[in-house]
Amino acid sequence: MTFFLQLVVTGLAQGMVYALIAIGFVIILKCSEVFNIAQGHFVLMGGYLGYTFLVPLGLPIWAALLLAIATAAVMGMAIERLMLRPLVGQPVLAVVMMTIALSTVLGGLATLIWGAEYKTYHGLLPTLNLTVGAVSIPSESLIGLIVSVVCVALLMLLFRYTKIGLAMRATAEDLQVVQSVGVKVTTVYAVSWIIASVVGVIGGILLGGVSGVNMDLANIGLKAFAVVLLGGVDSIGGSILAGVILGMLENVAAGYLDPLLPGGGLAQVFPFFIMIVVLIFRPYGLFGLARIERV
């Protein structure tokens, strides 16, 4: 029982990081009706940026995090302005293809700058210990849980109580009405991409602190895609709950099912298995809206 609870608690922490990354998917999707295929590569860049600021530059964790967030904001702004704004009004498929190209470019940059080598910064993160009965949370997982919860709470406050948050929610509901009342949609798009980039980079730093950083981190980031589909592609709250569910299920699968397989590795594909099941039986997710079109 203790082993099971340990897996669930660690999975909860990991799931909150997935949820944070998934919010980047949902924001872009709600505002522009486009799946950002490059979200996993934002996570990859975050992991390598965290390594760069913490190890070669030797910055304290707070300075490294602030610099990584600033870099992510500039990256998101540049991507929206140079690569995506020229495609406003073009077919959705063109924008999706651009995000695929963007993921390739970011992967190439990571290889060019860091050599796609495995990097780690485990010992440089703050040490936090939490033990409840016989269950203890590893320091990196606890930090990831705390930072993810804080970031998700700040984003929810942003969406609910600020003008730009209101504009983003309105744009997601009806683009033409928003334009008719004078809201600058290009600004909404820019902020959406900045937020998606920032949450991806933060998620990459947190995941890199747990498992290290290499090119596979982009694939780990794409697990947030399964989170989005499970929660409902247009539901931020659903993404949070789905992230927690998938994180716990993945960890339990790694603890109980991987030892039964000769090569293991079931946990790596488990979220995508859940994604397939959801698409078959409930394609609009747990909290997504079921759209009915009359012909």
Within a domain: residue 292? no
> Mean pLDDT throughout 275-287?
77
> Mean pLDDT throughout 235-258?
81
User: Looking at the 3D structure of the chain, how many domains does it have?
Assistant: 1
Within a domain: residue 293? no
User: What is the spatial distance between Cα 2 and Cα 269, in angstroms, rounded to a whole number?
Assistant: 25
Q: Which residues span the domain enclosing 235?
A: 2-281
Residue 293 has pLDDT above 60, yes or no: no
Q: What is the pLDDT of residues 76-118, one digit of tens each?
A: 999 988 888 888 777 878 888 899 999 999 999 999 988 878 8
Within a domain: residue 287? no
pLDDT at position 106, please?
92
Question: Considering the entire predicted model, what is its pTM?
Answer: 0.88
Within a domain: residue 290? no
> H or E element: which one contains 130?
strand 130-132
Within a domain: residue 286? no
Within a domain: residue 289? no
Do 32 and 96 touch, CB atoms closer than 8 A? Answer: no
Q: Give the CATH number of the domain where residue 103 resides.
A: 1.10.3470
User: What is the spatial distance between Cα 11 and Cα 8, in angstroms, rounded to a whole number?
Assistant: 5
> H or E element: which one contains 58?
none
Within a domain: residue 8? yes
Within a domain: residue 288? no
